[in-house]
Structure 1
Amino acid sequence: MSIFRKIIFEFNKIYYPWKIRKTAKFYRGKLYVGGKSYVTGNTILGDNVCFNGMAISGKGEVNIGDNFHSGPGCQIITSFHNYEGNAIPYDDTFIDKDVIIGDNVWLGNNVIILGGVTIGEGAIIQAGSVVCKNIPPYAIAGGHPAISFKYRDKDHYNKLKKEERFH
């Protein structure tokens, strides 16, 4: 790795966590940022949040639980153009919708989450998915739109949770 890349890498390790802590409405604890990541002033972060490249945009509130992990290229979009207003294709107003992400959720690379969605505790979202409907707890979901196709072993999950075996 060149000296320039090392300097950029070290800068990013300091800058993005600082920027997120400064911008977020609230953060509860440990934060790891492994890539360019942005949040809004309406973002609430739990403990042990790991962003590896997350872009949160819009005016809706985003509430992310504890032990959240995202792959690179993920987005959460909470504001949408009003296409039923007084102009075509859309008017000057926006529709804002909140996003709630439970504890212990893992997003693969390049996942997009749209406003108005709740992702339940322990869910896993497959890389490249677009989440535009609620995902239940413990579900493994993927696709366009993301749908649940499998569930975690709830007993195993709860055993690991009780033992506090978090990544």
Structure 2
Amino acid sequence: MNFYSRFTSNTHIGDNCHFNGMIVRGKGKVIIGNNFHSGKNILFINSYHQYDNANAIPYDTEKMIDKEIIIESNVWLGDRVLVLGGVTIGEGAIIQAGAVVVSDIPKYAIAGGNPATTFKYRCIKGYNKLLAEDKFC
């Protein structure tokens, strides 16, 4: 870790991961695969207030909804990315700085925006060559 990061006991981190300032908020499970890299000020939020059939307005004061976040191997997140619960970011994906990830991102995708959408894909041939040669930073 290069900058302060805070994880929950439900966070499972793979090998060769580099964090430049990440906070995981909530009780949902977080799985981060191998060779993960992040920019600064990353936020994962995976618990939400229950609002349907709540005991108060605007939300229930007792019940929370916990959702899993899965980050597959070889993912890179740019600065200030927000990832919400219930999301999987596929292997080799790159998420542009400032993106808000609210739905799944496919393998090898390059995505950005609010909400994050895929606008390009990595060169899979080059990616697989580097993978076969074990070239990780």
TM range (shorter): over 0.9
- What number of residue pairs does the alignment pair up? 135
Instruction: Identify which of 57, 69, 76 aligns with 1:88.
Output: 57
Aligned 1:120-139 pairs, distance under 5 A: 120-139=90-109
Bigger Rg, structure 1 or 2: 1
Identical columns (%): 59
Secondary structure at the residue paired with 1:38?
coil
Shift of 1:87: 2.0
Per-residue CA deviation, residues 11-58 of structure 1 (Å, 9 max, x unaligned), is: xxxxxxxxxxxxxxxxxxxxxx11110000000000001000000110
Normalized per residue, the structure richer in strand is: 2
Matched, 1:97 2:67: yes
TM-score with structure 2 setting the length? 0.97
In structure 1, the gaps of 5 or more residues are: 1-32
Secondary structure at the residue paired with 1:127?
coil
d(CA) in 1 for partners of 2:16 and 2:22? 15
Aligned to 1:64: 32
Secondary structure at the residue paired with 1:158?
helix
Matched, 1:54 2:22: yes
TM-score with structure 1 setting the length? 0.80
Normalized per residue, the structure richer in helix is: 1
The runs of at least 4 consecutive aligned structure 1 residues that moved more than 6 Å come to: none
Shift of 1:140: 0.2
d(CA) in 2 for partners of 1:49 and 1:83? 36
Aligned to 1:144: 114
Higher relative contact order (CA 8 A, sep 6+): 2
Secondary structure at the residue paired with 2:5?
coil
Aligned to 1:26: none
Secondary structure at the residue paired with 1:160?
helix
d(CA) in 2 for partners of 1:51 and 1:144? 22
Aligned alpha-carbon RMSD (Å): 0.6
d(CA) in 2 for partners of 1:42 and 1:154? 32
Shift of 1:86: 3.0
Matched, 1:159 2:129: yes
Q: Which stretch of structure 1 is more off in the superposition, 84-93 or 63-72?
A: 84-93
